[in-house]
Chains A and B, each alone.
Chain A
């Protein structure tokens, strides 16, 4: 199978979907020469830095028969467009009684670890999960990135694609052809029997690294990647926890009201899964601070393999 980077996989998804459906448009503040050369500047729009306007333009064009893909750049910049995201995109279909579809995809990079400090190192997926009405994808591999973005573009609802910056250059196998990953279907990235570790984005890789290391100690870790946060494949996680009896959730957003919190709640609310727990669940998340610039401080703020390992050992102690 071909090995390509996460970023290349996303670009392939864009090209294939623009070839497949001429209603797919792209709006972004930075030029995309490859796409522009292939599809022309009518469909590949280079926009002013006006996030509120182009977020709403995507929504309005979606409600008028097109399938825009709007690139915010970093998720950071979406906050300038909060009216269009919160008041408009997340509510427009339901509020109008389902009379129209809004097939718009909002892409953005996310996450820390790149020494670009607080405003450019955010992982605020749970803010968007909280808004009923938006679907959310958060891939961890090149293959999932391609397959999920293609599904997002074909979906008839607003979808946010969070694309972890630290994954951009990692490579992995991507199937040839029309590779699709359905929304709402998580994946067991490594099967195991002692502890379930749910990782998000970059931390799926870190969890896999920990699982490999602990295997040498005879500890068997099951690593799950939800891949989609809305809809969230809760049953995949619950089934794993019913098997292992132990749960650790790892993400680089702070723990308060986070995706990690939601995953823990969905697991512990379920009676059969709750009864199967052998130890209190653990969240390994970022410190509750704006991500700091200085490398030692940034490392201290974000989860790492040592903290994941420590959490796994804690759930095994009880």
Chain B
């Protein structure tokens, strides 16, 4: 595995900042009722999407979850079209038909966010089967949460992918909560990596708030998959900094202030950690980071402008896209 060079490191930092700011802005826009429906923030988990996608190529395919904005951005989606989708406008990725929970960009191998826990896993397994048959070195990755391990689709997919040695990465984002339930209250086994050996594949636990560790573990899993040795389960341990979902108002916080503060500390926050590492290595200055943040903010401002300028879909087009020709 190649160590990331300065340009890649800065790209990863910028992407993590973009993901966080995108979701914080989405929450704000939801509060202002400029966007509708539900927003599931990925705040605190950015290192996983960015670390995994750093080890994938554009032609590799991923599936995502209800908490999917981060996966889209990390895979290279256009924030203007993402924002327009959140606004329900015709220039959104799904022409306003999907919204926050159903953003997809097949052109960059992003096969869709998914509102059903574990629902994307078999689809990713199909993408991995396609990659195996294409025999061009492609891989697929499916992102899922700790909650998905309670679903049959998780276990079925793990078994088939291992049996067929599919080039698939199972990326478990263990953010410690399945909607409102703490993982230890619903899982008999909270070390999710231990599911892997039961199905004959490697299970690797990794600090999900360390983007470089996630990237390194993913590179290894991708190399294994490209060698034809089959899937790997990456158990990325992280923490959901915010609530499950934002509707009209944020849900009340039930977790202790100490716990929340501990995960917000600079030595745990995934963005602060990379930022401090890069400044410590002399690769970037505080001013560089500030200019990245300024650019992210202005790009997001432009995305909102783009979204607001885009028309709503025409109700006469209600039936368009139902069936392919």
Name A residues whose Cβ lies closer than 8 Å to a Cβ of B. Answer: 25, 42-43, 45, 47-48, 50, 52-66, 68, 83-84, 87-88, 92-103, 132-133, 135, 155-157
Contact = CB atoms under 8 A, between A and B. Distances in A.
Contacts of A25: 133
A230 to B, nearest CB: 9
Contact of B126 (A59, A87, A133): A59
B277 interface: no
A48 B321 contact: no
Nearest to B116: A87
A155 B324 CA distance: 8
A68 B129 CA distance: 11
Contact of A47 (B128, B152, B160, B322): B160
Contact of B119 (A62, A83, A99): A83
A54 B122 contact: yes
Q: For the side of the interface on B, what is the size category?
A: 35 or more
A100 B106 contact: yes
15 contacts: A48-B156, A52-B122, A56-B123, A57-B122, A57-B129, A58-B126, A60-B140, A61-B129, A64-B130, A66-B133, A95-B102, A97-B95, A97-B321, A99-B107, A157-B323
B33 to A, nearest CB: 23
A94 B325 contact: no
Contact of B94 (A53, A59, A96, A133): A96
A97 B153 contact: no
A64 B126 CA distance: 8
Nearest to A135: B323
B111 interface: yes
A132 B319 CA distance: 10
A98 B324 contact: yes
Given A52-B152, A61-B130, A96 B323 contact: no
4 tightest Cβ-Cβ pairs between the two chains A and B: A60-B126, A56-B122, A98-B321, A64-B130
A272 B113 CA distance: 46
A94 B119 contact: no
B17 to A, nearest CB: 27
Nearest to B96: A97
B93 interface: yes
Interface of B: 61, 63, 92-98, 102, 104-107, 111-112, 114-116, 118-119, 121-131, 133-134, 140, 152-153, 156-157, 159-160, 163-164, 320-325
Given A60-B127, A94-B97, A98-B324, 19 more contacts: A47-B160, A48-B159, A52-B122, A52-B156, A54-B160, A56-B121, A58-B126, A59-B122, A60-B125, A61-B130, A63-B106, A64-B127, A65-B134, A66-B133, A88-B114, A96-B94, A132-B322, A156-B324, A157-B324
A55 B118 CA distance: 14
Given A93-B322, A96-B98, A98-B324, A55 B127 contact: no
B133 A95 contact: no
A93 B129 contact: no
B322 A94 contact: yes
A46 to B, nearest CB: 10
B102 to A, nearest CB: 5
Listed residue (B122, B130, B157) with the most chain A CB atoms within 10 angstroms of its CB: B122
B160 A48 contact: yes
Given A48-B160, A96-B94, A60 B122 contact: yes
Nearest to A53: B156
B267 to A, nearest CB: 39
Contact of A66 (B123, B125, B130): B130
Contacts of A156: 324-325
A211 to B, nearest CB: 34
A100 B323 CA distance: 10
B300 to A, nearest CB: 22
Contact of A98 (B118, B160, B320): B320
Contact of A95 (B98, B128, B130, B325): B98
Contact of B104 (A65, A99, A157): A99
A55 B95 CA distance: 27
A30 to B, nearest CB: 16
Nearest to A80: B152
B321 A83 contact: no
Contact of B160 (A50, A64, A99, A102): A50
Contacts of B122: 52-57, 59-60, 84, 88
B323 A93 contact: yes
A154 to B, nearest CB: 11
A96 B325 CA distance: 16
B156 A88 contact: no
A53 B130 contact: no
Listed residue (B102, B111, B156, B164) with the most chain A CB atoms within 10 angstroms of its CB: B156
A106 B288 CA distance: 54
Contact of B130 (A50, A52, A65, A155): A65
A97 B124 contact: no
A95 B97 contact: yes
Contacts of B92: 97
A26 B127 CA distance: 15
Nearest to B111: A63
A8 to B, nearest CB: 28
Contacts of A66: 129-130, 133
A59 B230 CA distance: 20
Given A52-B152, A52-B153, A63 B123 contact: yes
Contacts of B94: 95-97, 99
A57 B323 contact: no
B111 A53 contact: no
A25 B134 CA distance: 13
Contacts of A83: 116, 118-119, 153
